[in-house]
Chain A
Amino acid sequence: MASFPRDAAVRLVLTRLALLGQELGKPALAQADEQTRLFGEASPLDSIGLVTLMADLEEDLYKATGRRVTIADERAMSRLTSPFRRVGLLADHIVEIVNAPAP
Chain B
Amino acid sequence: MPIAIVTGSSRGLGRALAEALLAEGWTVHGFARSAQTWTHPHFHPHAVDVGDEAVVTAAVAAVLAASGRVDLLINNAGAASMNALLLTPAATAAALMRVNYLGAWHCLQAVGKAMVRQRAGLVVNLTTVAVPLALSGEAAYVASKAAVEALTKVAAAELQPQGVRVHAVGLGPVATDLTRAVGADKLAALNQRIGRPHGTSLAEAVDFIAQAWRSPAADTGSIRYLGSFS
Chain A contact residues, CB within 8 Å of chain B = 48, 51-52, 55-56, 58-59, 68, 70, 103
Contact = CB atoms under 8 A, between A and B. Distances in A.
Nearest to A54: B113
B61 A68 contact: yes
Contacts of A52: 116, 162
A55 B57 contact: no
Dominant secondary structure of chain B at its interface with chain A: helix
Given A56-B116, A59-B117, 12 more contacts: A48-B158, A48-B161, A48-B162, A51-B116, A52-B116, A55-B113, A55-B114, A55-B116, A56-B117, A68-B57, A68-B61, A70-B57
Interface in B143-165: 158, 161-162
A56 B57 CA distance: 16
Dominant secondary structure of chain A at its interface with chain B: helix
Contacts of A70: 57
Nearest to B116: A55
Interface of B: 54, 57, 61, 113-114, 116-117, 158, 161-162
A55 B116 CA distance: 7
Q: List the 8 closest A-B pairs by CB distance, nearest first.
A: A55-B116, A55-B113, A48-B161, A68-B61, A55-B117, A59-B117, A56-B117, A52-B116
A76 B158 CA distance: 21
B114 to A, nearest CB: 8
A73 to B, nearest CB: 11
A29 to B, nearest CB: 17
A58 B61 CA distance: 11
Nearest to B162: A52
A56 B162 CA distance: 12
A52 B113 CA distance: 8
A21 B12 CA distance: 46
A5 to B, nearest CB: 24
B52 to A, nearest CB: 13
B35 to A, nearest CB: 26
B58 to A, nearest CB: 8
A37 B114 CA distance: 25
A70 B60 CA distance: 13
A100 B57 CA distance: 18
A80 B117 CA distance: 29
Contacts of B114: 55
15 contacts: A48-B158, A48-B161, A48-B162, A51-B158, A51-B162, A52-B116, A52-B162, A55-B113, A55-B114, A55-B116, A55-B117, A59-B117, A68-B57, A70-B57, A103-B54
Contacts of A51: 116, 158, 162
A51 B116 CA distance: 9
Given A48-B162, A51-B158, A58 B57 contact: no
Contacts of A68: 57, 61
Contacts of B54: 103
Contacts of B61: 68
B162 A58 contact: no
Contacts of B158: 48, 51
